[in-house]
Structure 1
Amino acid sequence: MSTTEKAPKPAKTKRLSIPRLLVAIVVSAALVTAGVGAARTWWVSATTPAAADPWFAAYVDVTATPSYAFESPVSDAAKNVVLSFIVTKAGEDCTPSWGSVYTMDEAASSLDLDRRIARLQQQGGEAVVSFGGLANDELASTCTDVDELADAYQSVIDRYDVTTIDLDIEADNLANTEASVRRAEAIAIVQQRQKAADDDLAVWLTLPVAPTGLTEVGTDTVADFLSAEVDLAGVNVMTMDYGSSRVDGQSMLDASTSALEETHRQLGVLYSRADIDLTSETIWNKIGATPMIGQNDVEGEIFTLDDARKFNTYVVDHAAGRMSMWSLNRDATCGSNYDVRRVADSCSGVAQGDFSFATLLASKIVGSPEDSASTTTTSEPVAVEEEDDPATSPYAIWDEDATYLIGTKVVWHRNVYSAKWWTRGDLPDNPVLDAWETPWELVGPVLEGETPVISPTLPAGTYPTWVGTDVYEEGDRVVVDDYVFESKWWNQGDSPAASNTEPDNSPWVRLTDAQITEVLDQLAAGEAPTGQSTVTPTDDAAVGTTETPAQ
């Protein structure tokens, strides 16, 4: 970023269980034996363990000037804080420090930090400690001995007696793949130490995100932690500073909700690859969101009070595990002489009136970091059988042998998918980490009571079949694989089927259902249909030579 009583924890295993293996065999058999158009079987979780209540805690920049008095909360929303950032002490590779300047002893004397944390705890508040951030070296980037690194993390946890830590990994720290492996191995050691001492330790990864989800290095970081068998409390995404990843016209709110949805999908894939089956609800409980309030670092990106209200509603409705914000230092209106186009450390850059971002973002979020820290991740059973039934599906059941053009909708595993480009044989729910890897976009679930949507079709012979040797003028219409296409400009030899993979460069565009309906109305009225082909046949075509339409 810029500038109760503890239940015993069962040992976690990642081996392929016998029930999981049996389910995998049954699913594979169902896919192999199902015929075209037959009902398809899928599987959903039978039970969902009780999730921890979501919690809110805003970041506080400990070393920022002027100092923020987190030890005197101005509201209930400010009673839990994420203190940032513990990084490497300048010149001392394995020594933790606040902002690279103050060792923990120096922070105790110069910032009175120990006493202030104790005061916060005395009033019922909690402190989470965050390692990393944008500006300095996270400990794993400089401390190359895993045991020494684990001791460095442990010293901070012991010093401040915290149950939850936050690893804010970004910029060069995120790009350092060797550091990522070290970090995961060291945190695994620390978490096992805490477990042996019957102490809880919740570990959150805080990562940059785009509206399309986590970056590749972000998903790699999560995978490193799961590979090291760290029990992640969750992944907190920084819903801010989107820059060019935010498409034209996309609001900050829409970009942020899209980022959470894509992260949810990616986490499901990552946990599945780690042989841990989790329900959709559990995955949501492992997601955190941290907007940058007010003016973001990117010009023109402003997270407003109204955005905060609506984002809170979205997070609460989806039961996400955590909400934070950057930062309590900034949760105030800037002074009248301040240039709000410049990001400030001590104000938001927007007129807040009597409102605070913390109060709006924390609304209806009642949990605490300590209460959620005792939650243990375990693979959830998969048992309940459902079916894809053509009679209760709005669109055709996906068929691996069928060809689908851009915009075609299908049903698979009781969800509706839309083709983003021409596709054949690509599973709609193929577990890919990045959306660009699949030609399918999830639209949403099949709804109760739905029946097949009947697309309009034209009588045979309404338009001629496309022939590769013929010349077509702008507006001519032809048929390929029962689909009707219209020519955008003069062309010869350009297959209409190719328009689905390169729509901008193709001279053809497929007719929509609305256009097909318009032609049907013309036929019913005895009129000639729009786009009757004025084909200019070649010499070969004139003597009856035809060509099989491209698939």
Structure 2
Amino acid sequence: MARSDKKAARKAAAADAAATQTDRLQAPESDSGRRLSPWRVIGAALVAVVVVSGGVVGFQWWSARASVDVKPWFASFVDVTATPKYAFENLGSTSTKDAVLSFIVSSPSNACTPSWGGAYTMDQARGSLDLDRRIARLQQQGGDVAVSFGGLANDELALGCTDASALKAAYSSVVERYKVGTIDLDLEGGGLVNSDAATRRATVIAQLQQERRAAGKSLAVWLTLPVSPTGMTTDGTNAIAAMLKAKVDLAGVNLMTMDYGNSKDAEKSMAATSEAALTAAQRQLGVLYNRAGIHQSDPSLWAKIGATPMIGQNDDQGQIFGLADAKALNAWAVSTGLGRMSMWSANRDKTCGSNYVDLTVVSDACSGVIQGKQTFAGLLSKGFDGRIALGEGAVTTAEPTSAAASDDPAHSPYPIWTATNSYLKGTKVTWHHNVYEAKWWTKGDVPDNPVLNAWETPWELVGPVLPGETPIPQPTLPPGTYPNWSGETPYDKGTRVLFDGVPFEAKWWTQGDSPEAASANPDSSPWAPLTQDEIDTILGGGTAQK
């Protein structure tokens, strides 16, 4: 999933093909000419009794509940590498705690090396994004994550990694690194249409799933696919067929109910269009399972269907999934029995600020519609009370944080906080087995001071120190990079100096004004401390961007 006009154009062009595919994927020929065994006759008679005594509606409800023992779940997609960075770990304090982190793709330098968005290897994400710790923080608060592979903007692993053993090792390394129990394969672009990649992917995912189950570990596998109002395209149904042929036990198929292009009826709402698309896809999925020799009841098929709308403004400028659409789609999904609801994305689940002028242009950081106090997550998640399949490594309790807890420098990822040091905005420290990040320049403020309001402390809790961690090298300015501040020297705007080892930059001409006052009254001070990110940039170690 990625915001791109190319996807909308591709979906519009594929609408006719999807309609043809829907017509072809009809139920197989009736077996009404076959003789029924006595047991089947007795079973039919019992069904008739239930229908007569309880009514057709009552029987349908009973059969649905009896055949599906799965709790529907909700989890937002989170774009891990988007700018500005989205603090998904804070979802742990909400009612929608789970998240689908996206996207793991091939590294630009090695197709068999997993990376986040092509920008960070998993080890780089541990340092630059503090990703492992943020996942642990989410888990501390009762949430958990799934990992999504693919998307539109980069290459899904199976596309370029043609060696089966290396491909399986790549998938496995992600699953083991983050100890996830659920993976999502978001197939778009080349990752969807390449048949060789589909076969490789299905084969190694089946092997990985079987190996994990043999070891007593779970691996729920979801496919995320494009859809039009007439259903999935041939490439989408082929991807499912490849998985079933390889004996992958699919948890379900998640449909991207968004960016319908010209296939959308202008008179129909986005919710109604999505309902039509999901209904067509459910029928197709039933045929695919029948062709694979696996019968699925109608309620079971619905439990294997997921929906992921793009909240607010879609890439197609005339298509907006509003709050009313969210309420309507949720009510329909709950009554129908969908097994999953997601959204693209948690990053965008808020009203755009007044400085964002053109709401018809999709933003990575806001929805483009006026939400008031409502969230799309809150509306779409109602009735989806289950949880994603949890990994075996979920962190459920925090490490000790009392004053008696000692921090070991050899096993602390960041320097241990001291009252005498000055800390720039963005600097991370270890304190009482937790990692904190400075929200602004600070000195002498205890990181775990139990304040009532977040604005009372310059520190933000990132997450726990993880088992086996060692210090992460931190870039610092070498001595002599800037001159030490002097009260007798005049400084022009933009001049940089060091004060107690901390770099400051002059906001306007100044002489005799100590940078120390910047912490007490930053607005009136002519000095602004540099951030850790600015230091990284100066040293050439700035983090890569998507």
Tell whether the structures are fold-level matches, with TM greater than 0.5: yes
Indicate the residue corresponding to 2:421 in structure 1.
Answer: none
Matched, 1:313 2:331: yes
Match of 1:92 among 70, 89, 110: 110
**Which whole-Å CA distance do the structure 1 matches of 2:288 and 2:111 have between them?**
32
Indicate the residue corresponding to 1:370 in structure 2.
Answer: 389
**Which whole-Å CA distance do the structure 2 matches of 1:350 and 1:74 have between them?**
25
Matched, 1:353 2:372: yes
After superposition, the C-alpha distances for 1:68-99 in whole angstroms (9 at most, x for unaligned) are 11111275343100000000001201000000
Indicate the residue corresponding to 2:32 in structure 1.
Answer: 27
Indicate the residue corresponding to 1:2 in structure 2.
Answer: 2
TM-score computed with the length of structure 2 as normaliser: 0.61
- Equivalent position amino acid for 1:284 in 2: W
- Equivalent position amino acid for 2:322 in 1: T
Equivalent residue pairs, number: 344
- 1:192–1:305: structure 2 CA closer, same or farther, 3 Å change rule? same
- 1:321–1:84: structure 2 CA closer, same or farther, 3 Å change rule? same
**Which whole-Å CA distance do the structure 2 matches of 1:73 and 1:51 have between them?**
27
Match of 1:279 among 297, 309, 333: 297
**Which whole-Å CA distance do the structure 2 matches of 1:226 and 1:250 have between them?**
34
| Structure (1 or 2) with the greater helix fraction | 2
Aligned positions of 1:67-216 closer than 5 A: 67-73=85-91, 76-216=94-234
- 1:65–1:177: structure 2 CA closer, same or farther, 3 Å change rule? same
**Which whole-Å CA distance do the structure 2 matches of 1:126 and 1:25 have between them?**
44
Contact 1:305 1:357 in 2 (8 A): yes
Contact 1:330 1:345 in 2 (8 A): yes
Match of 1:229 among 247, 255, 259: 247
Contact 1:56 1:323 in 2 (8 A): yes
**Which whole-Å CA distance do the structure 2 matches of 1:274 and 1:74 have between them?**
40
- 1:75–1:238: structure 2 CA closer, same or farther, 3 Å change rule? farther
- 1:28–1:162: structure 2 CA closer, same or farther, 3 Å change rule? same
Moved more, 363-372 or 97-106: 363-372
Contact 1:2 1:297 in 2 (8 A): no
Aligned positions of 1:383-532 closer than 5 A: none
| Structure (1 or 2) with the greater strand fraction | 1
- 1:348–1:274: structure 2 CA closer, same or farther, 3 Å change rule? same
Contact 2:181 2:390 in 1 (8 A): no
Contact 2:74 2:340 in 1 (8 A): yes
Indicate the residue corresponding to 2:460 in structure 1.
Answer: none
- Equivalent position amino acid for 1:89 in 2: S
**Which whole-Å CA distance do the structure 2 matches of 1:364 and 1:315 have between them?**
9
Q: CA deviation at 1:29?
A: 3.2
Q: CA deviation at 1:250?
A: 2.2
**Which whole-Å CA distance do the structure 2 matches of 1:372 and 1:243 have between them?**
37
Match of 1:342 among 350, 361, 365: 361
Indicate the residue corresponding to 1:300 in structure 2.
Answer: 318
**Which whole-Å CA distance do the structure 2 matches of 1:110 and 1:297 have between them?**
30
Q: CA deviation at 1:337?
A: 2.5
Contact 2:101 2:147 in 1 (8 A): yes
In the alignment, structure 1 segments of 5+ residues that lack a partner are 4-23, 32-41, 374-551
- 1:77–1:327: structure 2 CA closer, same or farther, 3 Å change rule? farther
- Equivalent position amino acid for 1:355 in 2: Q
- 1:78–1:25: structure 2 CA closer, same or farther, 3 Å change rule? closer
- 1:372–1:286: structure 2 CA closer, same or farther, 3 Å change rule? farther
Contact 2:68 2:303 in 1 (8 A): no
Q: CA deviation at 1:50?
A: 3.6
Indicate the residue corresponding to 1:400 in structure 2.
Answer: none
- Equivalent position amino acid for 2:385 in 1: V
**Which whole-Å CA distance do the structure 2 matches of 1:74 and 1:371 have between them?**
15
Contact 2:67 2:299 in 1 (8 A): no
Indicate the residue corresponding to 2:17 in structure 1.
Answer: none
**Which whole-Å CA distance do the structure 2 matches of 1:26 and 1:269 have between them?**
15
Contact 2:305 2:339 in 1 (8 A): yes
Indicate the residue corresponding to 2:422 in structure 1.
Answer: none
**Which whole-Å CA distance do the structure 2 matches of 1:197 and 1:206 have between them?**
27
Q: CA deviation at 1:26?
A: 6.3
Q: CA deviation at 1:329?
A: 0.3
Q: CA deviation at 1:372?
A: 11
Q: CA deviation at 1:27?
A: 2.7
After superposition, the C-alpha distances for 1:255-308 in whole angstroms (9 at most, x for unaligned) are 100011001100110000001111100000000000000000001000000100
Secondary structure, aligned partner of 2:367? coil
- Equivalent position amino acid for 1:368 in 2: R
- 1:75–1:315: structure 2 CA closer, same or farther, 3 Å change rule? farther
Contact 2:271 2:329 in 1 (8 A): yes
Matched, 1:323 2:341: yes
- Equivalent position amino acid for 2:2 in 1: S
After superposition, the C-alpha distances for 1:386-443 in whole angstroms (9 at most, x for unaligned) are xxxxxxxxxxxxxxxxxxxxxxxxxxxxxxxxxxxxxxxxxxxxxxxxxxxxxxxxxx
Contact 1:51 1:285 in 2 (8 A): no
Secondary structure, aligned partner of 1:329? helix
Matched, 1:240 2:245: no
Contact 1:138 1:169 in 2 (8 A): yes
In the alignment, structure 2 segments of 5+ residues that lack a partner are 4-28, 37-46, 49-58, 393-546
Q: Structure 1 vs Structure 2: percent identity of aligned residues? A: 56
Moved over 6 A (4+): 42-47
**Which whole-Å CA distance do the structure 2 matches of 1:74 and 1:139 have between them?**
30
Contact 1:53 1:372 in 2 (8 A): no
Secondary structure, aligned partner of 1:155? helix
- Equivalent position amino acid for 1:352 in 2: Q
Contact 2:92 2:143 in 1 (8 A): no
**Which whole-Å CA distance do the structure 2 matches of 1:308 and 1:102 have between them?**
34
**Which whole-Å CA distance do the structure 1 matches of 2:92 and 2:30 have between them?**
57
- 1:246–1:25: structure 2 CA closer, same or farther, 3 Å change rule? closer
After superposition, the C-alpha distances for 1:79-135 in whole angstroms (9 at most, x for unaligned) are 100000000001201000000111100000000000000111111101000000010
**Which whole-Å CA distance do the structure 1 matches of 2:168 and 2:302 have between them?**
29
TM-align CA RMSD: 2.3
Moved more, 227-236 or 357-366: 357-366
